[in-house]
Amino acid sequence: MMSRSSRASIFLVAAAFLFLPGAAANAASWPEPVGESLFQSDFSTCNWTADSISETSCGFRIGTIPIGTYDVSGGVMHIRATKAKDLELNEHHTEIEPKVRTFTKERSANIGSTYWYGLRTYLEDWTSESSWEIIAQWHGMADGEDNTPRNPPVALAVRNGHYLLYVRADSAQATAPKDTANRYDREDTIDLGPIASNTWVDWAFKIKWDPFGTDGSISVWQNGNLIYEEYGQPNTFNDTRGPIWYMGIYKFFSGSNVSERRIRLDDIRVATVGTGDPDSPPDTPGGPGGA
């Protein structure tokens, strides 16, 4: 298990010995929060339609540049991102975004608060390549248009056959423009170990959002195993509103060796962390598609 404290240097080593590629889908772990449940969807009663750019019975909306297809079958969300003929459209946000009224401040997290995030991912026939591909990201909500674009403060990505955790932070009220040297206070990449193609992987994140590093924290569980944790580190931007969460496929196809990517998603949950919450998500029954 990797960790980082306020005095420790960043660890860039794989956690392959903790990764269980053959873990059964019904051996998942999810937080049982003492705090408020903000969002949950297992797609079992989802009525996904072609006009799902607006909120649907699933409680999601699609990404801003969706190039591909979305489909719900067997109680699972299937997403396919495809390479566009127009090279100007090769920045693909083929993602879904939880969007329901129960999300605090219109789905934005509160800076200084702690949240549980959970989801299951299934990478279909995923071949390794050097370009990064984000499968879940928490994107900052800038206070003004002059403070965009920025990278997501926290993202779960895939590159060179490994899962990566990207963490960025900036305490300035206005982040420096793109391509500025040392643009962020923090910009780290943590290797979470090798990917598993064609199998379900269970993820749980416990994040306390903090742009200053006073008491920010991130803990990551994979198939019920704690594989990374850090404390006393900044992990977001100095915004009025905290990050919002997307999941699916965010990829640049320019220079890519593949023409499409496919991912399945299930059991997406968000909850606040209340007093007395467990330090780790306990085992619960269930599995993708209600299996």
Dump pLDDT digits (tens) for 158-191: 999 999 999 999 999 889 888 899 999 999 999 9
* The pairing of beta strand 225-231 with beta strand 2-4: parallel
Whether 64 is covered by a domain: the verdict is: yes
Per-residue model confidence (pLDDT) at position 185: 96
Per-residue model confidence (pLDDT) at position 86: 56
Band (pLDDT 50/70/90 cuts) for residue 66 is low
Which of residues 84 and 164 earns the better pLDDT score?
164
Flag the least confident range among 14-23, 83-92, 100-109. 14-23
The pLDDT of 136-159, averaged and rounded, is 89
Band (pLDDT 50/70/90 cuts) for residue 238 is very high
Are residues 180 and 198 in contact, defined by beta-carbon separation less than 8 angstroms?
Answer: no
Dump pLDDT digits (tens) for 89-126: 556 788 988 876 555 555 789 999 999 999 999 999 99
Are residues 188 and 166 in contact, defined by beta-carbon separation less than 8 angstroms?
Answer: yes
Whether 58 is covered by a domain: the verdict is: yes
> Structural domain tally of the chain?
1
Tokens of 67: 């190039």
Are residues 18 and 222 in contact, defined by beta-carbon separation less than 8 angstroms?
Answer: yes
Q: How high is the mean pLDDT of the chain?
A: 79
Band (pLDDT 50/70/90 cuts) for residue 288 is very low
Task: State how far the Cα of 91 lies from the Cα of 256, in Å rounded to an integer.
Answer: 12
Whether 112 is covered by a domain: the verdict is: yes
Whether 289 is covered by a domain: the verdict is: no
Per-residue model confidence (pLDDT) at position 230: 95
Dump pLDDT digits (tens) for 272-281: 887 777 666 6
Q: What is the CATH number of the domain that holds 16?
A: 2.60.120.200
Whether 281 is covered by a domain: the verdict is: no
Tell me the pTM: 0.85
Are residues 126 and 81 in contact, defined by beta-carbon separation less than 8 angstroms?
Answer: no
Dihedral angle computed from the Cα positions of residues 121, 125, 128 and 133, in that order, rounded to the nearest 10 degrees: -40
Tokens of 119: 């989801």
Range of the domain at 240: 2-174+182-274
Per-residue model confidence (pLDDT) at position 263: 97
Per-residue model confidence (pLDDT) at position 111: 93
